[in-house]
Structure 1
């Protein structure tokens, strides 16, 4: 603990860094006195954590992965994510543009929302990541720590002597593997048995994709409609051909067709992570069991083998007592702590504290009285 740097976002509007604590009790005392909005600690270990960055004396760092809905394409962002141009005040929904369509301004205030679709997509990507870390890299569940971030995703942290000394370049190689970047998509010898790695992953993915695919699915990945129709009409033959490695009876299916299907399989099986976080050997990450200032939910540890059943809208709640009277300007329908709330539009309501804190953190409500 005393080898890590700690940092804090304060309500006064600035960040306090280069702090160090020898014991959990010392850290707790600091939090009680300073009451920061957000608390972080470094993935890195230093000889002198309180020094300026170039004098800290880097010893090594844990391997960190950040899976966030911001990096995962979903349809729901068009419904609940909102951006406001800092220059002219124009408001839009969905993905934030590079420039304001009204004044060409390039600075925006962005409001996102942690909906169930967002968090389910982040969970799916985290499961794919964990599969690769354990099956391909050989990390055990004793070395892997999984956390709900308290907002729109999950953090995966590996504490192991194996990764401690890896530099940014080595970590970039791991990132490339996880994301499938640069994978040579050449036709597989499908008669061989692939028991590990990307070859096994692609082989399984192709079979699953074709088995469930519609004609439109195949057109979307770049196949011509007549070829897509032929594959769907001869789906069982295609699957038999893929397993046997002998291609017959489907006119037009050749290396280019297989390449497109395999490229799609790589996209589907790769894990969508924030690549910058993993390669940054000095990264500050949110302190476990502290509140996320964007939601009021806790960064919550969970066993890696229980991620599928983990419910962040129930298990990450910090405030479980009391109610708060609010004026809600605009809020979507949401679930929290076994209850469903909203939607609200310019309404006075009294909500459980956890729901009230979420709306306040998202700048969608103000406390009355």
Structure 2
């Protein structure tokens, strides 16, 4: 980034902060604060081990941000007795939010070289919804904030009282569960002895739970299959079932009959309507483990001292706002439109585009051509922050 571009962005970031009204997270005075300034050259310098007194003692957080005009701003997930101490061992750790990070370019099946930025962010929101299914459905967390990171993905901050004092090992167990645990099929099936039919030894009744957990995920997949084959003509249903490994004509016919004759039992989770159903459920279990986990960045969650982006701040690699999102607004949230700072709308600037190509921004898709041109400032800031353009004289 050349000097003209750097100074332009630095000044406009400062203008944004002067009108931002950012207040900081809960227990802001117990957290470590850090920021990365707009420095010359390709490297970055992190200024950290700052306390709330350092960043807001002379006025307010907004005053500090408007004065420093930082490129990136962070606060710690951890809470400390002395957050400004220069050594971690001297800070006096007290508690930490449980933080989850999803990065679009780290998702399974996403190739950053072949997938557009906008498409990666769409995939990342799908992964976020999977993560929230775990956090709200399986764990029952209620005090959580969802935040667009301003760059590659999303953060979730969990602050339920029961998680704040969890150590690294306990957080690692949560990570393993969310990403896809190392478990067997028998671990997700409820088994009970059932006497009857005059048998000397009782039979075993196997049931998938329907009210949460990995077992319920397998059950949802099973019922999706059952509903699918019930709606298909017989030959198509049998052909669909034969797509499963080790399911031939006989097993396919048995599963199809069970889907019709034993639908209510299957809906209740009962697998022992026929052995063939159990076989398919085991396959669906393996697929669930492979496909249903949330691909979170493990070190972020297990690190009780982690620095995380400040909601409401600007991301120096995009010029977008690190945006808190209300839970009921998440489905409609478009990061490349809804995270654009309002201060950067309404007027044009001149930039020299150095990395031309397709661009999706502010609800529109277009191709940015190389060379000097006038563009809406929001787009210009986006392109400059991402290294695709530089500022030129007006």
User: Scaled by the length of structure 1, what TM-score is found?
Assistant: 0.78
Alignment match of 1:114 (pick from 114, 117, 133): 117
Indicate the residue corresponding to 2:311 in structure 1: 288
Indicate the residue corresponding to 1:135 in structure 2: 137
The 2-side partners of 1:212 and 1:367 are apart by 56
Indicate the residue corresponding to 1:259 in structure 2: 282
Distance 1:218-1:53 versus aligned 2 partners, 3 A rule:
farther
Indicate the residue corresponding to 2:198 in structure 1: none
Alignment match of 1:7 (pick from 34, 44, 56): 34
Indicate the residue corresponding to 1:334 in structure 2: 359
The 2-side partners of 1:50 and 1:216 are apart by 62
The 1-side partners of 2:121 and 2:333 are apart by 11
Does 2:198 align with 1:167? no
Indicate the residue corresponding to 2:14 in structure 1: none
Indicate the residue corresponding to 1:41 in structure 2: 75
Please report how far the alpha carbon of residue 349 of structure 1 lies from its aligned counterpart in structure 2 after TM superposition: 2.8
Q: Deviations over 1:148-180 (max 9, x none)?
A: 111121110012321111100010111111112
Q: Secondary structure at the match of 2:217?
A: helix
Q: Is the 8 A contact 1:150 1:297 kept in 2?
A: yes
The 1-side partners of 2:79 and 2:88 are apart by 12
Please report how far the alpha carbon of residue 333 of structure 1 lies from its aligned counterpart in structure 2 after TM superposition: 2.1
Indicate the residue corresponding to 1:77 in structure 2: 112
The 1-side partners of 2:228 and 2:371 are apart by 45
Please report how far the alpha carbon of residue 362 of structure 1 lies from its aligned counterpart in structure 2 after TM superposition: 1.6
Q: Which stretches in structure 1 are left out of the alignment for 5+ residues? A: 81-112
Please report how far the alpha carbon of residue 203 of structure 1 lies from its aligned counterpart in structure 2 after TM superposition: 0.8
Does 2:231 align with 1:200? no
Distance 1:227-1:270 versus aligned 2 partners, 3 A rule:
same
Bigger radius of gyration, 1 or 2? 2
Q: Is the 8 A contact 1:202 1:269 kept in 2?
A: no
Indicate the residue corresponding to 2:296 in structure 1: 273
Indicate the residue corresponding to 1:368 in structure 2: 392
Mean CA deviation greater in 41-50 or 264-273: 264-273
Does 2:383 align with 1:359? yes
Distance 1:20-1:63 versus aligned 2 partners, 3 A rule:
same
Distance 1:284-1:192 versus aligned 2 partners, 3 A rule:
closer
Q: Secondary structure at the match of 1:2?
A: helix
Please report how far the alpha carbon of residue 294 of structure 1 lies from its aligned counterpart in structure 2 after TM superposition: 1.2
Q: Deviations over 1:205-253 (max 9, x none)?
A: 233367679989997xxx65x8489988988457568925346697xx8
Q: Is the 8 A contact 2:130 2:292 kept in 1?
A: yes
RMSD across aligned positions (CA): 3.1
Please report how far the alpha carbon of residue 357 of structure 1 lies from its aligned counterpart in structure 2 after TM superposition: 1.3
Q: Secondary structure at the match of 2:84?
A: coil
Could you say which structure has the higher helix fraction?
A: 2
The 1-side partners of 2:52 and 2:127 are apart by 34
Does 2:348 align with 1:314? no
Distance 1:249-1:195 versus aligned 2 partners, 3 A rule:
closer
Indicate the residue corresponding to 1:124 in structure 2: 126
